[in-house]
Structure 1
């Protein structure tokens, strides 16, 4: 009878521990949802005006052509967007690809970016959360949602994620390129240089367009390679994109790659395809 009583206590304790670990494993997802909800607070109270030719007349000709090509003229200006991705991720040039799924919420007026990633490595789930707000960035990645394997923050991370924010504006939310924080310089008929200054964090990128007006590549030398958040190496970063598709009246790239260009060669570490995208959201979605 005593043994049965002890076994019941142990079983009950194990159930409590497992339940607690399952709950803790969802911390990053809860954090993503809480931060997205915070960023959405004023969204439903702010109405968007319509993007017109007058709004884009100060932009370089290739950028104007791009906004016309994607169909942004005559649509609402973008305040925020929510996007879901499927794709593959490679943690090292010599390792194999791992399937990944991600969701992102970005708010443009106050420049907030939240990116929640899920993938599997060695049969175990890996969960990551990138947060950018107030020109400060953090990267937190946990094995099984419990064991921290990457924790990045600091000036290099802030600058690097500012590049990512601007990359999102260019590829996922072209209508946002009227932002007054962007300085433009025409390089040639198909190339422009853009400098984006968010709250004193200034980065630059080259944007390449094809003859149709579509953006085909984004290249910046202002991002840092940091797999664990412990060390940082400034490396050229580019995001060549795939064919364009229509998403609720806006034509954007259906996906693309993310590439580090090291002296010894290129390292493509991510491939992603858009599952769905929504602009001017009033909820964070699933």
Structure 2
């Protein structure tokens, strides 16, 4: 088979380096793009002549996309807001290094502190990596605070007496609790976003490619929570079997050589199969096969 021809829509694609790197590369692989990294190289290979990939910190991604250095990138909603970047948000993609749910930026204080609400921190010092967003949040609430940039180990700033509170990102809250801190407010939920440069988005050829990438990434994410089931069903038990099949769409049903049996194939939520398969077996289904899905479009 001949290799696909490049239609001239070369996309400069930013891959987030850091905590999201492995999850992003795994997601892209399921979507059909194999990223091959080289040691200490910021420009990995990809099996698509229409893409040129660059590794970039998520914190900086939206600036590079806004400037046109990159046409497309994956980064957090939080960093798009923090940088006030003029980009096109193509779509939200909820995935992370821990769980497929949005992360939260929270306001936390020492467990034994008297602060219970954001208002209680008037005149106090807050340490965070998300300085612009934090300043805007407190300014819009009319609460005067001093916001100081944290270069890391933000949870320790309160413990060491370097700040009265922190604004930090968390998915489970475990690390914050482990440092003896207490969350008093949630300031924002964030998730990964696919963002595009405005000029690239307005270029028809590039836009088609970007929309292709977006569609397949969503298909790979949707497939994570689904599995395929295939089984043989006696014709006279078909109605009972259908009553037990929660499906995204109607099942595919085909005749077998033995005309008293049918082949049934369906896509279901992976969380249901533990109880579904025994129930189907009781109703007469046989040769039940469960298989993983790469993409569901």
TM-score per shorter chain, which class? under 0.3
**Over alpha carbons, which structure has the higher Rg?**
2
TM-score of the aligned structures, taking structure 1 as reference length: 0.24
